[in-house]
Structure 1
Amino acid sequence: MGPKLLDIDQAAEQLGVPRGWLAKAVTARSVPFTKLGKHVRFAQHHLDAIVAAGEQAPETAPPPLASVRSIA
């Protein structure tokens, strides 16, 4: 048996995103998916890739400011 495939509603729910966001991403072909005839389906590796593509590295903290002494 092949991988379990999710429809767009199930995939959006698993990702925790609105269905409309995922549908637009599919239309723009900016996320991976499988097309079976007219049906769009997602395997777990597609969802993992979507999450990985959205990961953001933390910004590094700026160095501490040097002590500024006022000239009197």
Structure 2
Amino acid sequence: MRIHNKKSYTLILIGLISFGGFAQDEPPTPTGPPPPFLPIDGPVLFVLCIALVYGVITILSLKKRYIS
């Protein structure tokens, strides 16, 4: 269980660092409407998919452990 917690914290940290890097790379738009709060680009979508898959696997493993 201890390794599982370290792994989830590591994935969260990697996601935050990569999201911060992608957010800084976008140029500011002085004209036009302001950009949405979370622009869903390729890299952001990739990180979200990884987090979603990891969350589903975690939920399924916890459900299997507590039901059986």
TM-score bucket of the superposed structures, by smaller chain:
under 0.3
The structure whose residues are more often strand, as a share, is 1
More RCO (CA 8 Å, sep 6+)? 2
TM-score normalised over the length of structure 2: 0.26
Which structure has the larger Rg over C-alpha atoms? 1
The structure whose residues are more often helix, as a share, is 2
TM-score normalised over the length of structure 1: 0.25
